[in-house]
Amino acid sequence: MFTVDIGITWVCFKCSCTYDLYTIYLRIINVIGKYTMSKVHNIITEQIIAQLEKAIESKANLPWRKPWTVDSSGLPMSLNTGKPYRGINSLMLGFSPFTSAYWLTAKQVKARGGAINKGESYSPVIFFNWIESKDGSGDKFPMLRFYKVWNVEQCDGIDYPKPETIVKTSIERIASADKLVKEYIGKPPVKPVKPSPQASYSPSADTVQMPPIETFESAEFYYSTLFHEFVHSTGHENRVNRKTITELNRFGSHEYSKEELIAELGASILCQHCGIDNDDTRGNSLAYIRGWIKALKDDVTLAVKAGQQAQKAVDHILGVKFDNKGTV
């Protein structure tokens, strides 16, 4: 398309349409934004797939499953703002081996008079925002931005709250999980079943079925499994109304894998919230992991979307409204 500047508008030689400069700017930003988002999605997806494939090869636990025996300030958070990272960012930073929960950008490290240690690798976080048209049309253009952050343990000269090394007792961890269950407002009924049927959530009956707690290897295993089913339950039309629950999806389909990933990530966040050990939950089924890898390769936007939906489910269960505009 060729255009000619005639002052405040541009005219398209092909169709004689006129465009003001701001509209042209928004269209350019939209194209650039789509390219940037695609690049960011690829970066996130490649890292997650690498971690999942590593879990298969080494027969290790999934990368977001950790034994939360050390109280390390809980969820990963920005040292600059004091706010926790959410969704896919919480997951990505959870891959790290660091005990501190605090992270900074290179600019923030410099502003605090510190320095990133030589040879240290960054971790990716993403920021989602909308650019709104000023022409009164109400059009909005999504922008997904990519940032590099470093854990404070990778830096020198930075003051930060040191993680406590007090280990929560099993009784304290279970009490925290039990409190979460009791405070889940509007939760579905939890019906006991014999040990042979697996734990499950029925959308049509809006009911969670759970084997008795004594049939699990540990009480923490029981609660982490229950959290997984609770995350499924948030998809009910009377809660957050998630399509992967409200619509029938066959086993192994893309939507089925997406819903299982949402439940897996959401349960992990809830385990982290309570400080319970989720290092050995649900058996790390190879079928599930391979299904996620295939789904992620087929749709590079899946990881970010699943992280968003998992966080939304967690917020619903905890009964919180998190004002964190722009984060993913």
* Mean pLDDT confidence for 151-162: 92
Distance of CA 41 to the CA centre of its chain: 13
Contacts of 209 by beta carbon, 8 Å cutoff, 6+ apart = 190, 191, 192, 193, 197, 199, 200, 201, 202
Q: What percent of the chain has pLDDT over 90?
A: 31
Q: Does the pLDDT at position 201 exceed 90?
A: yes
Tokens coding 310: 């998992």
The DSSP line for 63-107 is TT-----B--SSS-EETTT-PBP-HHHHHHHHTS--S--EEEEHH
pLDDT in tens, 40-96: 788 888 888 887 887 777 766 665 555 444 444 467 889 999 888 888 888 788 778
Contacts of 136 by beta carbon, 8 Å cutoff, 6+ apart = none
Residue with more model confidence, 235 or 167: 235
Pairing of strands 200-202, 207-210: antiparallel
Q: Does the pLDDT at position 281 exceed 80?
A: no
Task: Look at phi and psi of residue 282 and say left if phi exceeds 0, alpha if psi is from -120 to 50, else beta.
Answer: left
Three-state secondary structure call for residue 320: coil
What confidence category does residue 158 fall into, taking pLDDT thresholds of 50, 70 and 90?
very high
**Terminus-to-terminus CA distance in the chain, angstroms?**
36
| Amino acid 25: pLDDT | 44
| Amino acid 59: pLDDT | 64
pLDDT in tens, 226-240: 999 999 999 999 999
Write the CA distances from 22 to 12, 33, 36, 52, 155, integer angstroms: 15, 16, 20, 44, 42
What confidence category does residue 245 fall into, taking pLDDT thresholds of 50, 70 and 90?
very high
Torsion angles phi and psi, residue 157, rounded to 5: 80, 20
Residue with more model confidence, 192 or 92: 192
| Amino acid 191: pLDDT | 93
What confidence category does residue 98 fall into, taking pLDDT thresholds of 50, 70 and 90?
confident
